[in-house]
């Protein structure tokens, strides 16, 4: 339909280019002289000689010195107050020794939070869980779980979870209700705007056409500047209206505004909460859809055709690359988009909306032909796009995120993308590992304990552990990462009820294997009617429905192993204590102290053996 309407429309005429929208201009990368002494590849090493980006090390170490001591103390106070209020057994003294700082700064755990993919559902349940861990929320304090978010060193996201992580970071780390619902902040953060459907935000045909055409116009500058574009760039411009600053309910269709174009991932270092080290360090991931992959390494039943051995790339404010041993290299985020062999450097390619779209590139599972046949999400846009790019040689590329390969020529023979001048990137969960564990398993980060929220939706939109089993399978194949033992089949996850209450994994392992605190969106809390198993493809939401789902997630996060008697449900009063026991457990073991008191019973109760 659309393509017929616009066939012959002079989309690429110089006229239109001159009249480029603010967004198009801000979205277009530019080539600049490379600053002297800039290396575009950092070799990160492997095993014990692995190194972090010096800027990341500096951020983390400042956060550890200036922010985390009081964050851990506040969390400890919260837990202790709840233990008293509930009249349950006191914590063994080693918990307070560790979290109060009495045993020195090296005793603090290094804590990371991971949020899975699963579309808007994953973003919503992830936000609900973070809200229950947020020390700024009085209900979370009363539940005895508030403050853990503030004590995290890292936060990772992929796909829908990456929408949560990137929007939270760029909005300057607001509370979760401000993040999701912020009404009409015209100049800055305007909330998720979830009432506007991702694919078709308006039922007004004229407005819809203008909107679609606007999206195309917004990515033209990038194409004309000689950079590869794809459907992922259109997706980026849509997501920008939901997950970056500059759009509110009132101006969603205002084509004179940049709608978040120009906000780059690398520029987030200027935010006040970043300058004060108040944010957990954000990282998102995407997979390589290498054309020369070893397809015998597909995770069983994974339907996205990305083998587990393909590189998983991570993106942070400082760099993009992978600790996977086949690559073990990074490029500065600021200069992402620089063509291999070029004597100029590209800036402005690392648009946050483009990274968010890359990590949530669900289009890869459509092949181009099937995409054009029928009505899929964005099909009309793709039709329009085809008219523009006319790139019949590489149609398959149009469903991947296209990034000039900073690592071209590196590690030939082991690094899968070595001979590709352009990376083809797809959704971070396409290999089956639907929770972004990989960055948290990098040896150089030394993460002791991981909180994972699983909002994937394998069974009637509930999580079934599949994505965690896949993560274990990947670490076995790559043998560069340590992962706690978890069930290998979904039957075990479900039969043992591991998805209906929080479960600890790796209780009998020791460092460097991290302890995993796993919370699945696997069943409604407290016997309530389910609201959180939202279908993955739902594209628009009423604020009330999001609020209700987040409220259920709050209960799910704070209930522990709930109990039922005569139809009355109760949260586990010991859950705050048990969670604290898990958080300090690696630090405890490193100090050579035995588990004792309530921690012993807690670990028996919540650990999977």
Residues 6 or more apart whose Cβ sits within 8 Å of residue 141: 78, 135, 147
Long-range CB pairs of 133-139 (<8 Å, 24+ gap) are 133/451, 133/557, 134/175, 134/176, 135/71, 135/74, 135/75, 135/78, 136/175, 137/175, 137/176, 139/554
DSSP label of 8:
T
Using CB under 6 A, which of the segments 92-100, 229-237, 275-283, 595-603 binds ligand NAG?
92-100
Does the footprint of ligand NAG cover residue 360 (CB under 6 A)? Answer: no
Which residues in the 459-488 window bind ligand NAG by CB under 6 A? 460-461, 464, 466
- Least CB distance to ligand NAG at residue 549 (A): 10
The answer to whether residues 96 and 605 touch, using CB atoms and an 8 Å cutoff, is no
DSSP states of 266-303 = GGGGGSHHHHTT-SPEEEEEEEE--TT--GGGPPTT-S
Quote the CA–CA distance of 282 and 149 in Å, as a whole number.
12
Q: How far is CA 47 from CA 30, 54, 443, 459, 554, in A?
A: 37, 18, 7, 37, 38
Residue 375 is a binding residue for ligand NAG (CB under 6 A): no
Cβ proximity to ligand NAG, 112 vs 258, nearer residue? 258
- For ligand NAG, give the closer residue by CB, 159 or 464: 464
State which residue, 366 or 451, has the beta carbon closest to ligand NAG. Answer: 366
Q: Is 297 in the site for ligand NAG (CB under 6 A)?
A: yes
Encoded one letter per residue, x for contact with ligand NAG by CB under 6 A and - for no contact, window 48-87 reads: ---------------------------------------x
Among 101, 208, 214, 530, binds ligand NAG (CB under 6 A): 530
Query: What gap in Å lies between CA 375 and CA 500, rounded to an integer?
Result: 36
Query: Applying CB under 6 A, does 554 fall inside the site for ligand NAG?
Result: yes
Question: Rounded to the nearest 10 degrees, what angle do helices 68-86 and 54-66 cross at?
Answer: 50
Whole-number Å distance between alpha carbons of 169 and 447:
20
**Cβ–Cβ under 8 Å, residues 322 and 333:** no
The answer to whether 390 contacts ligand NAG (rule: CB under 6 A) is yes
Structure tokens at 196: 């506007």
Could you tell me how many residues of this chain bind ligand NAG (CB under 6 A)?
A: 52
Q: Near ligand NAG by CB under 6 A, which window of 69-77, 376-384, 529-537, 598-606?
A: 529-537
The region of 62-70, 185-193, 232-240, 499-507 touching ligand NAG under the rule CB under 6 A is 185-193
Q: Which two tokens stand for residue 64?
A: 């550890």
Regarding 414 and contact with ligand NAG (CB under 6 A), the answer is no
131 in contact with ligand NAG (CB under 6 A): yes
Exposed, middle or buried, 1 (CB in 10 Å: 0-12/13-18/19+)? exposed
122 binds ligand NAG (CB under 6 A): no
Q: Which of 133, 141, 152, 171 binds ligand NAG (CB under 6 A)?
A: 171
Residue with tokens 């991570």: 314
Q: Output b/e per residue, 420-437; b: 16+ Cβ within 10 A.
A: bebbbbbbbbbbbbbbbb
Task: Give the residue, chosen from 22, 51, 81, 172, that forms a contact with ligand NAG under the rule CB under 6 A.
Answer: 172
Is the CB of 358 or the CB of 490 nearer to ligand NAG? 490
Helix locations, 67-118, DSSP H: 68-86, 93-99
Q: Per CB under 6 A, does 153 bind ligand NAG?
A: no
Chosen residue from 110, 116, 267, 400 binding ligand NAG by CB under 6 A: 267
Q: How far is the CB of 49 from ligand NAG (least distance, A)?
A: 25
Q: In whole angstroms, give the CA distance from residue 534 to residue 549.
A: 9
Positions in the binding site for ligand NAG (CB under 6 A): 87, 94, 97-98, 103, 107, 131, 137, 139, 170-172, 175, 177, 185, 188-189, 245, 263, 266-267, 269-271, 292, 294, 296-297, 301, 303, 367, 369-370, 373-374, 390, 419, 458, 460-461, 464, 466, 490, 530, 533, 535, 550-551, 554, 588, 591, 593
């Amino acid at each position: 339909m659309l393509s017929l309407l616009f066939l012959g429309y002079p989309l690429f005429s110089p006229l239109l280019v001159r009249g480029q929208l603010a967004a198009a201009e801000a979205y277009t990368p530019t080539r600049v002289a490379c600053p002297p002494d800039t290396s575009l590849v950092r070799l990160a090493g492997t095993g014990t000689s692995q190194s972090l980006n010096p800027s990341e090390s500096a951020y983390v170490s400042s956060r550890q010195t200036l922010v985390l001591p009081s964050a851990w103390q506040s969390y400890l106070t919260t837990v202790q107050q709840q233990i008293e209020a509930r009249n349950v057994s006191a914590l063994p003294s080693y918990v307070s020794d560790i979290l109060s700082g009495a045993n020195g700064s090296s005793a603090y755990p290094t804590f990371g939070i991971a949020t899975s993919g699963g579309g808007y559902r994953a973003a919503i349940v992830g936000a609900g869980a973070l809200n229950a861990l947020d020390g700024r929320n009085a209900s979370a304090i009363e539940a005895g779980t508030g403050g853990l978010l503030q004590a995290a060193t890292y936060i990772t996201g992929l796909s829908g979870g990456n929408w949560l992580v990137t929007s939270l970071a760029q909005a300057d780390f607001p509370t979760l209700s401000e993040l999701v619902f912020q009404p009409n902040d015209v100049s800055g953060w305007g909330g998720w705007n979830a009432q506007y459907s991702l694919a078709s935000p308006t039922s007004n045909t004229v407005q819809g056409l203008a909107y679609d055409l606007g999206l195309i116009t917004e990515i033209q500058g990038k194409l004309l500047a000689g950079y590869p574009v794809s459907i992922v760039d259109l997706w980026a411009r849509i997501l920008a209206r939901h997950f970056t600053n500059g759009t509110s309910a009132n101006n969603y269709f205002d084509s004179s505004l940049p709608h978040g174009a120009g906000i780059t991932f690398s520029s987030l270092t200027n935010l006040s909460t970043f300058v004060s080290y108040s944010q957990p360090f954000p990282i998102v991931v995407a997979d390589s859809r290498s054309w020369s992959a070893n397809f015998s390494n597909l995770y069983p039943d994974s339907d996205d055709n990305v083998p587990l051995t393909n590189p998983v790339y991570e993106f942070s404010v400082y760099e993009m690359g992978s600790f996977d041993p086949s690559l073990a290299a990074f490029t500065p985020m600021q200069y992402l988009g620089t063509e291999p062999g070029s004597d100029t450097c590209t800036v402005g390619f690392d648009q946050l909306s483009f990274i968010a779209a890359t990590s949530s590139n669900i289009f890869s599972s459509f092949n181009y032909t099937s995409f054009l046949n029928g009505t899929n999400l964005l099909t009309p846009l793709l039709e329009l796009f085809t008219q523009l790019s006319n790139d019949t040689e590489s149609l398959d590329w149009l469903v991947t995120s296209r990034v000039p390969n900073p690592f071209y020529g590196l590690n030939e023979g082991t690094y899968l993308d070595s001979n590709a001048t352009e990376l083809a990137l797809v959704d971070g969960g396409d290999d089956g590992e639907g929770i972004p564990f990989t960055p948290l398993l990098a040896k150089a980060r030394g993460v002791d304990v991981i909180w994972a929220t699983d909002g994937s939706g394998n069974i009637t939109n509930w999580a079934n552990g599949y994505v965690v089993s896949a993560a274990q399978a990947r670490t076995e194949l790559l043998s560069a990462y340590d992962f706690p033992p978890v069930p290998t089949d979904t039957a075990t996850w479900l039969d043992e009820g591991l998805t209906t209450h929080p479960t600890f994994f790796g209780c009998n392992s020791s460092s460097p294997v991290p302890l995993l605190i796993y919370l699945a969106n696997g069943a409604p809390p407290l016997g309530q009617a389910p609201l959180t198993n939202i279908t993955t493809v739902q594209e628009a939401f009423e604020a009330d429905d999001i609020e209700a789902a987040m409220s259920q997630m709050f209960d799910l996060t704070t209930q522990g192993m709930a109990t039922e008697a005569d139809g009355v449900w109760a949260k586990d009063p010991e859950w705050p204590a048990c969670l604290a026991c898990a958080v300090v457990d690696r630090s405890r073991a490193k100090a050579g102290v035995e588990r004792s008191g309530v921690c012993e019973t807690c670990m028996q109760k919540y650990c999977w053996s």
